[in-house]
Every structure is written in structure tokens, then in C-alpha cells.
Structure 1
Amino acid sequence: MTTPTRHQIIEQDGRPLFVVVPYDDYLELTGEAAPTATIPHEVIRRTVLEGISLMRAWREHKGLTQATVAEAMGVSQAAYAAMERPDARPRHVTLQKVARAMGLVAEQLQPADE
């Protein structure tokens, strides 16, 4: 199998018994509260004073390049750059992928007005 998966099915005698999923996916599926999502002052300051997106501010705060995040998401650098524009409105599922690539939770990438 060449397609990456985010879960593992454990079988016994050809019957599925358990599914192992990433913790963030488990929290989302069960509706349990995820850890409190905080945003550092520096990230907020840059979005307000410089007008850059939360996505870009977080990426630069973590010292990551667009290419690194794009690779972790499985998209091109150009596609990721479009998501990072201040006027971009990525879907929640896209925010989850970006957050995972940066070691965040999606809520940390969502503007307060949404």
C-alpha cells in the first residue's frame, strides 16, 4: 500500500477488532474538549500590526518555511502559499491539515471573527 493512512485497523482471524487513530482525531470524533488553544502575543501582534494571516504568523513564529509545511501536508508550496494569504478563507478541514503540519490545533489558526 502506497497511500499514507492516519489510522490502523487491528484484526483477529480476519475480523476488525480495534482501530488506532491519532489523538486529535479521537477528540474530534468523540466531541471531547481538546486542550486549550492559546496563541502567543507575538503571533497576535504580527497579525494585527503587520496585517499578515494567523497561518503565516504561526509558521514564521515556529521557524518553518512554506515548503516544509507544504511537504508535511502533501501539497505544493504554491498551493500552501495561497492558503496563507490574508484574504484566504480555508475550510476547517484544511485548517486541521495545516495545524497538524505545524503541531497546532485548528482553532489556533482560526480568526476570532469566525
Structure 2
Amino acid sequence: MNVHTDNVQVIRQNGKPAFAVIPYSDFLNLIGKKEQGEGETTIPHAVVGLMIENDWNLVKAWRKHLGMSQEKLAKLTGISQSAISQMEQSNDLRSGTVEKLAAAMGIAPEQLVD
């Protein structure tokens, strides 16, 4: 395995190398993972749990998770409460609608698409 070692700190015990400290990003590269926020969108376990337990879509699960009423979400998005209700029964939302909902909920649009 070829590893770039210019930025390694070696910690010695009794005069012998005992530990090698490397930058966290190098560690993640070694184990084949990305840093959170690098191309990976996550959804909290609680939101996923609400979806599964109640057979809800992401819009409703997020809204309930955030303690938000349909009326409040409607007001924040400029979308009618009845339209919000319909969206909570659908998994086919327009990208512009997803962006409005996400902005009102303070989440990334990708977190509303499954």
C-alpha cells in the first residue's frame, strides 16, 4: 500500500515508535470513507424511524420531527395547507417545491428525496 507520509507525527515510547498520528482526512482515505459533508447526504435516524413506523413520506416525517404544523410549513413556504397535506401523501414532488420545503425546514433539499 502506498501512503503519503509527509504529515505524520510519530509518538515514541521508551525511544521506540509506538504510534503514528496522521491527518484525519488521510485516515479516512486509508479506510475508504469520506468526511461527513463530502458528497454524502444524511437523514437522522429519528426521521427514518418516523417514516417506517408510520408509513409517512420524508416531507411528513421531517415536519413532525421538527415539531412543525402543516399550517406553519404552509406559511413559511407560501404553499397552501391543503397542498402541504397532498404533498405528504405523495413521493413525486417538483424540484422547486422540494427546495421551498427544505428551506422552510432548514434542511438540504437532498434530505427530502428518497
Answer yes or no: same fold by TM over 0.5.
yes
Q: Percent identity?
A: 37
1:84 lines up with 2:88 in the alignment: yes
Amino acid in the other structure paired with 2:58: L
The reply to whether residue 97 of structure 1 matches residue 103 of structure 2 is: no
Q: Which of the numbers 60, 63, 66 marks the counterpart of 2:67?
A: 63
Instruction: Name the CA shift for 1:77/1:43 in 2 (closer, same or farther; >3 Å).
Output: same
Aligned CA-pair RMSD: 1.9
TM-score norm. by structure 2 comes to 0.62
The Cα shift of 1:36 comes to 4.9
**Gaps in structure 1 of 5+ consecutive residues:** 1-32
SS in 2 for 1:75: coil
Number of residue pairs aligned between Structure 1 and Structure 2:
78
Deviation at 1:91, TM superposition (A): 1.1
What secondary structure, in the 3-state scheme, does the structure 2 residue paired with 1:89 have?
A: coil
Displaced runs of 4+ in structure 1, greater than 6 A?
none
Question: Which digits, 9 at most, give the CA deviation of each residue in 1:30-67, with x for residues without a partner?
Answer: xxx88853211011112123210111010110110000
Higher alpha-carbon Rg: 2
Return the TM-score normalized by structure 1: 0.62
Aligned equivalents of 1:37 and 1:68: distance in 2? Answer: 25
Over 3 Å counting, the alpha-carbon distance change for 1:34 and 1:68 in structure 2 is farther
Runs (5+) with no aligned partner, structure 2: 1-36
Matches of residues 102-113 of structure 1 in structure 2 within 5 Å? 102-111=105-114
